Amino acid sequence: MKRFFALCILLPGLATTTIHQTATAQTVLDNSAQKASPFVKSTLKTLVTRFSNTHPKFRNLTVHTNSDKKQIVCGQVSLSENKSPAEESFMSFGAAEDGEQPVVYEARTIPATLDTREANQWINHGADLEELEELGCVPEGSYRQYGDTLNKVLQDHKINATR
């Protein structure tokens, strides 16, 4: 009886000193990860960890191999809090088996006018799209179209600034 009483007092105190690990679960909305490889699961876990302040939702997962016979995973991720995220909330992502971190590209419309001080920010933003294109996760020519649009906006700003 004394041991039982002592355990009742000690156990709650021990519970507060234990280390709690948070479990990360991947939500794949369209069942496109039914037979996911360990690499795909690892990529999704990395993205869940990167966006730990939200509960990312994934869809359109595809896997193909590159010329080096390494796996490439492509898909879309939404950081929306909604159970059924809006179409425009999804961002393209991709990762190579021999790569470092998954690349996430948020499609944002380039404004009609752009301050030249913001140009580097938009160029760097486009680099993610270029990398996704190299991985085969977005259609070929996507980066070129983005660059052409950005150059046109910058040229228009330059022409208007010289007048």
Tokens 């179409």 — which residue? 87
Return the domain boundaries, the chain.
26-97, 108-163
d(Cα 150, Cα 43) in Å, to the nearest integer? 31
Which pLDDT value is given to residue 161? Answer: 54
| Sheet with 71-78, edge to edge strand ranges | 27-28, 57-65, 71-78, 90-96, 103-105
Q: Report the 10 Å Cβ neighbour count for 5.
A: 9
Mean pLDDT in residue range 126-134: 94
What DSSP string describes 98-120? TSSS-EEE---PPPSS--GGGHH
Give residue 1's pLDDT: 45
Task: Answer yes or no: is pLDDT of 115 > 80.
Answer: no
| Torsion over CA: 115, 119, 125, 129 (sign) | positive
* pLDDT in the model for residue 9: 47
Confidence of residue 24 (pLDDT cuts 50, 70, 90): very low
110: confidence class by pLDDT, cuts 50, 70, 90: confident
